[in-house]
């Protein structure tokens, strides 16, 4: 991406462990680039709610407690790419989580002539994440996230935009987080090397304050903050 083409379409993956700040930074990227935030859970819920073929298939699997297949997820992303909201590009969040998923995604995006430009990793120590995540608050309808200490809402317990109540997710506790971090390190960290080899990886120190992290992400993408 270049500084002199502010209209350039954004195509990126946001990688990072739970609590690294993806939920804080993704809305900033959406606002700046008018790109779509494609988060795994949101896409699944949207397709199920719309009753699409993929949604019906995914619901059957999820109702049995199974994991939705990589093929279904990639086809959901493909389906989203054809919608108007992806005209200015996309920010993938929560997918891919494994190297086979990353390869499948690349194949589909290349067939669509929409290859990834950047894979930005938000890097942070596990110990810091535990203290961070136990103070996290989420606005369920939009996915906007806050933190009691690091990124508090303007009014305590209320979403800045809608004024609706914020909640603490049931899995935002130290024990659950350590399990999630274990699977993140095992499964997802290897895709960092995959994207490094492709030459599109960039790392950002996510332990800094959100404004500094945002500035570093913009620099990674080749823009001035």
Binding site for AMP, residues? 40, 45, 66-68, 94-97, 101, 169, 180
| The token pair that represents 194 in the structure block | 């995959």
Alpha-carbon distance of 97 to 45, in angstroms, equals 18
Annotated binding residues for ATP, written as ranges, equal: 19-24, 136, 145-146, 208
| The token pair that represents 66 in the structure block | 């199974």
| The token pair that represents 74 in the structure block | 């990639």
The 3-state DSSP composition of the chain as helix, strand, coil percent (nearest 5) reads 45, 15, 35
Angle subtended by helix axes 40-50 and 70-81, to nearest 10: 80
Catalytic residue among 22, 118, 132, 144: 22
Query: Is cis: bond before 39, omega within 30 of 0?
Result: no
Strands 118-123 and 145-147: unpaired
136 catalytically annotated: yes
Catalytic residue among 97, 118, 132, 144: 97
In DSSP notation, 141-176 reads: TT--EEETTTB--SSTTB-TTT-PBPB--TT-SHHH
154 catalytically annotated: no
Catalytic residue among 78, 103, 180, 212: 180
Catalytic residue among 118, 132, 136, 144: 136
169 catalytically annotated: yes
Catalytic residue among 32, 169, 196, 212: 169
Report the DSSP beta bridge partners of residue 89. 10
11 catalytically annotated: no
Active site residues: 22, 97, 136, 169, 180
């Amino acid at each position: 991406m270049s500084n002199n083409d502010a209209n350039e379409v954004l195509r990126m993956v946001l990688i990072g462990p739970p609590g690294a700040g993806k939920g804080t930074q993704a809305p900033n990227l959406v606002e700046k680039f008018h790109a779509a935030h494609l988060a795994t859970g949101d896409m699944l819920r949207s397709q199920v709610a719309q009753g699409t073929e993929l949604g019906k298939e995914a619901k059957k699997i999820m109702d049995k407690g199974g994991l939705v297949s990589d093929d279904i997820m990639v086809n959901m992303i493909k389906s989203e790419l054809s919608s108007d909201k992806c005209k200015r590009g996309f920010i993938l969040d929560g997918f891919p989580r494994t190297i086979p998923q990353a390869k499948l995604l690349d194949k589909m995006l290349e067939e669509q002539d929409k290859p990834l430009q950047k894979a930005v990793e938000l890097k942070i120590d596990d110990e810091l994440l535990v203290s961070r995540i136990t103070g996290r608050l989420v606005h369920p309808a939009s996915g906007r996230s806050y933190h009691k200490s690091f990124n508090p809402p303007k009014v305590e317990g209320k979403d800045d935009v809608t004024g609706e109540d914020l909640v603490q997710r049931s899995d935002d506790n130290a024990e659950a987080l350590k399990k999630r971090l274990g699977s993140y390190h095992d499964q997802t960290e290897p895709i960092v090397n995959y994207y490094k080899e492709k030459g599109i990886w960039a790392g950002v120190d996510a332990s800094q304050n959100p404004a500094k992290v945002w500035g570093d992400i913009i620099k990674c993408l080749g823009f001035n903050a």
